[in-house]
């Protein structure tokens, strides 16, 4: 029965050890997949390398499918899983800013740690930049609070919002992802290879 720690099956004092181990694998997988190279990642926007799309979608689908099978099998209590609350405005605004940051910097927070760990100086600068960004947010939080709290939908689920069942939504997601992978492979053949 899971999740193990919220249900006290594993003692919460193990929490940080587990965090460390999961982080270890997280870093290993990201780095091994090539998420430690900003130019490799930025390739998704210019069509010369679709690694971000492939890894990201495969991961989301694998865990979503696994999670819903676990739920069906009664192995996991979904009500104890943390679900990021939906605040429409702030998520869109934040997403747009992050999108710009992604194109400019070529990293996202997790991958910047990865790249910094193997010695990429730009990734280290990026990480420092993130600290500054968070600090700016902290300082201007009172001004942003209204936008930050706008349109709260709570733990909204995407399939509820679309009015279909989770199963059908997953099927659609899988088909879209497979289609995207296929299109990506076609595009990649056409685009001039970039050496990095």
Partner 1 sequence: MDRSKKYWNPYFGGMMLGLLLLLSMYITGRGLGASGAVKSTVVTAVDVVAPKHAENSTFYSRFLSDGKNPLNEWLVFEAIGLIAGAFLSGALAGRLKLKVEHSPKITTKTRLIMASLGGIAFGFGSQVARGCTSGAALSGMATLALAGFIAMMAIFGTAFASAYFFRKFWI
Partner 2 sequence: MNKTYIILASVLVMLGVGLVFLEANPNIKEVSPEKLLSELNENTRYTSTDELAKRIIEGDPSVQLIDVRHKAEAEKFMLQGAINIPLADLLKEESLAIFDQDGKDFIFYSNNDILANQAWTVTRRLGLMHLHVLKGGLNCWAETILLPKIPAPTESQDAFDLYQARLGASQFFTGASLEVKSSQPLEKVNLTRKAKTKKVEGGC
Partner 3 sequence: MKEQDKTKSLSVAALIFVAIIVVGLLTTGKPDIAYKITPQQSIEALGKPGNEISPLEVAKTVKANDNKFIIIDLRSPYEFVKGNIPGSINIPANRILEKESLDFFEKNATSNSTLVLYDATQSLATGPWLVLKQLGYDNIKMMQGGWKIYSGIDSQDPSQNPAWLVEIPKYDFAALSASKETNANKGNQAGQKEIIVPQRKVKAKKVEGGC
Binding partner of residue 190 among partner 3, partner 1, partner 2, none, CB cut-off 5 to 8 Å per kind: none
Binding residue for partner 1 (CB under 8 A) from 11, 16, 73, 189?
A: 16
The residues, ordered by sequence, that sit 6+ positions from 14 with a Cβ below 8 Å of its Cβ are 5
Binding residue for partner 3 (CB under 8 A) from 38, 42, 49, 90?
A: 49
Smaller CB distance to partner 2: residue 140 or 182?
182
Smaller CB distance to partner 3: residue 69 or 135?
69
Handedness of CA 24, 52, 33, 114 (dihedral sign): negative
Smaller CB distance to partner 2: residue 125 or 166?
166
Applying CB under 8 A, the site for partner 1 has a residue count of 131
Q: Kindly report the number of other CB atoms within 10 A of residue 64's CB atom.
A: 15
Binding residue for partner 2 (CB under 8 A) from 15, 182, 183, 193?
A: 182
- What is the bridge-based pairing of β-strands 152-154 and 86-87? antiparallel
Q: How far is the CB of 182 from partner 2 (least distance, A)?
A: 8
Q: What does the H/E/C string look like for 138-151?
A: HHHHHHHHHHHCCC
* H or E segment and range at residue 153: strand 152-154
| CA distances, 110 to each of 11, 26, 29, 155, 185 (Å) | 27, 9, 11, 24, 26
Q: How far is the CB of 179 from partner 1 (least distance, A)?
A: 15
Token look-up 């600290």 returns 131
At 52, is the secondary structure helix, strand, or coil? helix
Residue 117 touching partner 1 (CB under 8 A): yes
Binding partner of residue 149 among partner 2, partner 1, partner 3, none, CB cut-off 5 to 8 Å per kind: none
Binding residue for partner 2 (CB under 8 A) from 175, 176, 183, 187?
A: 175
How far the first Cα of the chain sits from its last, in Å, is 46
Applying CB under 8 A, the site for partner 2 has a residue count of 19
For residues 150 and 89, the answer to whether their CB atoms sit within 8 Å is yes
Site for partner 2 in 22-51 (CB under 8 A): none
Task: List contacts with partner 3 (CB under 8 A).
Answer: 5-6, 34, 49, 62, 66, 69-70, 73-75, 79-82, 84, 109, 154-155, 185, 188
């Amino acid at each position: 029965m899971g999740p193990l720690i919220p249900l006290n099956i594993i003692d919460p004092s193990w929490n940080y050890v587990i965090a460390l181990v999961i982080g270890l694998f997280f870093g290993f997988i990201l780095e091994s997949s090539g998420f430690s190279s900003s130019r490799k990642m930025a390739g998704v926007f210019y069509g010369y390398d679709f690694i971000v799309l492939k890894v990201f979608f495969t991961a989301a689908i694998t865990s979503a499918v696994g999670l819903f099978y676990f739920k069906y099998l009664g192995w996991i209590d979904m009500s104890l899983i943390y679900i990021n609350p939906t605040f429409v405005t702030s998520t869109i605004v934040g997403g747009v800013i992050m999108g710009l940051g992604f194109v400019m910097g070529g990293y996202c927070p997790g991958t910047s740690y990865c790249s910094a760990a193997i010695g990429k100086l730009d990734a280290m600068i990026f990480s420092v930049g993130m600290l500054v960004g968070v600090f700016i947010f902290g300082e201007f939080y009172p001004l942003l609070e209204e936008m930050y709290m706008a349109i709260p939908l709570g733990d909204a689920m995407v399939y509820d919002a679309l009015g279909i069942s989770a199963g059908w939504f997953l099927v659609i997601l899988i088909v879209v992802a497979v289609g995207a992978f296929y299109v990506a492979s076609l595009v990649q053949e056409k685009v001039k290879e970039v050496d990095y």
